[in-house]
Amino acid sequence: MEIRDRYAPSPTGLQHIGGVRTALFNYLFARSQGGKFILRLEDTDRTRSDAAFVHNLYETFAWLGIPWDEGPDVGGPCAPYVQSERFGIYREHARRLVEAGKAYYCFCSPERLEKIREEREAAHSGETGYDRRCRDSPPVEAAGRLRAGEAHTIRLKIPLGETTRFRDRLLGEIEWKNEDINPDPVLLKSDGFPTYHLANVVDDHLMGISHVLRAQDWLPSTPLHVILYGSFGWSPPEFCHLPMVMGADGKKLSKRHGATSMDEFRRQGCLPEALLNYVALLGCSYEEGKDLYTLKELSERFALEKLNKAPAVFDYKKLEWYNGQYIRMKADAELAALALPFAVEAGLFGGPGKEPAPAEAAAFAAAMPLIKERAVFLREIPEKLDYLFAEPAVAAAAEFIPKKADLARTISLLRLGRDLLGDLAVLDDAAAEALVKAKAEAAAVKLGDLLMPLRVAVTGKRVSPPLFGSIRILGAETCLARTGRALEALETAAGTDALPGAL
């Protein structure tokens, strides 16, 4: 048997973590079994479906690097793969069920259905759903009403007094009393549009879907789908209801927990391989003691038997860790290319949207080793490097002063550091560190005390990317000018223009 599974989203919103996890697990399962992964657009909700959401879907999965073997944009033997282009198929299959006595025409108006609901509510009745009024209408009567053009739907006959059973690959044997299923649900609406349940089952059968992997919140729909398969005389696919993705509070992941849409993660500067790696671990285990996987490695290791029954918790801090790991694995040139759009957007090179001059682009690329060990998301990088492309304001005097030092001593330390700038601008890190250590020992000062005022003068910050690398990129002339302005400000703050230069 060929393994065929699918991702069948409704284009009524942006792609989010839960949907991407479902698509990823379907992709990994198909690849692990040498099967086919299919995309189908379930756009029967015509009021909420939007072409913008379809575009978002294509763009998201192109960014993630997850291709499908068949789908609306690539075609395939089961085309069309968009439900709104298959309405004739659904109408024909609904009529077949009526002819087989498995479904029936219902002529109840929306007003009657609403009246039933209101009466039950007033009586505090526990009954829900349709009252099956038209279930046993004589066929001759139904035919006459159809010829008269009376508005109608087609409803499925749920077998009464029975129990529906099916096996879930993760949850095991499931039993569901038919009395707990929505009474005789609509399959074909009065406007000729199919409901989700009819279109989903018909398409899965006609497209040869062998396995349905979907989130556990779809579990209550499965008994109805199993009944539908039986009504058509078809064998259902194998079902596997995936563990839910929850927030840290134990509730289903949503916007209240933070970013959930792929667009939000992309705007933060999340790397697709980091996101895929982390999402693949939400509810599934692969190999003891290993955290980082390529998509190929995940495909080779994925198995339904490795899924967890318990809900998975989406940990934003863990995602940050993964993204940081993948940033550190990037070559400097690749990281610069990935981060550059964020720098342009942030206005790093003279204003929002302004592209860098060749020298600025070279400096930006040269700065990647300075932030690679510290960056978590790409969006952070421009802010960490802003001092390289615009002179920072001279910090307040208190920012320059090392612990247990005073302003006069700080000025002396900064003068000492200034004298080293010519050499630091041309030395590599090891030689620069040796030079500064020797100077600190000779002056009987702590290394950190010597570097603190110099760091603030050059970068404008007490905490910055590595100082020696920053000095090399800026050059001696720029660093000397910044240090001179800082000294001038500190001397003014001290109330004198002539403080001792020696420690």
Distance between CA atoms of 142 and 235, rounded to whole angstroms? 30
Instruction: State residue 258's pLDDT score.
Output: 66
Do the bridges between strand 36-39 and strand 163-168 make them parallel or antiparallel, or are there none, so unpaired? unpaired
Q: Is 51 exposed, middle or buried (0-12, 13-18, 19+ CB in 10 A)?
A: exposed
User: In order along the chain (503 residues), what is the average pLDDT of each group of 10 residues?
Assistant: 96 94 98 98 89 96 98 98 97 97 96 92 88 94 95 97 97 96 96 95 98 95 98 98 90 76 95 97 90 96 95 94 98 98 97 96 97 96 97 96 94 96 97 97 95 98 96 97 97 69 46
Sign of the torsion formed by the C-alpha atoms of 50, 54, 55 and 57: positive
- b/e sequence 192-209, b meaning 16+ C-beta within 10 Å: ebbbebbbbbbbbbebeb
- Minimal CA–CA distance to 212: which of 230, 246, 176, 236? 236
Are residues 352 and 362 in contact, defined by beta-carbon separation less than 8 angstroms?
A: no
Query: How far is Cα 13 from Cα 124, in angstroms, rounded to an integer?
Result: 36
Cα–Cα distance measured from residue 496 to residue 488, given in angstroms and rounded to the nearest whole number: 10
Domain 397-494 indexed as CATH 1.10.10.350: yes
**Per-residue pLDDT at 257:** 73
Token pair listed for 115: 């009246």
Which pLDDT score, from 0 to 100, does residue 496 have? 55
Which neighbouring-strand residues pair with 182? none
For the segment(s) 86-242, the CATH number from 3.90.800.10, 3.60.110.10, 3.40.50.720, 3.40.50.620 is 3.90.800.10
Q: Rounded to 5 degrees, what are φ and ψ at 393?
A: -65, 145
Residue 415: name the closest of 473, 465, 487 by CA.
Answer: 487
- Residue spans of the domains in the chain: they are 86-242, 332-390, 397-494
pLDDT score recorded for residue 82: 97
Bridge-partner residues for 165, per DSSP?
175
DSSP string, 176-225: EEGGGSPSS-EEE-TTSPBPHHHHHHHHHHHTT--EEEEEGGGGGGHHHH
| Paired tokens of 188 | 């074909």
Among 37, 63, 57, residue whose Cα is nearest residue 275 = 63
Q: Do domains 86-242 and 397-494 have the same CATH topology?
A: no
Q: Which residue has the tokens 């003279």?
A: 350
Q: By C-alpha distance, which of 265, 242, 240 is closest to 320? A: 265
pLDDT of amino acid 46: 80
pTM, 2 dp: 0.91
Catalytic positions are: 255
List Cα–Cα distances, 123 to 114, 119, 130, 180, in angstroms: 14, 6, 16, 20
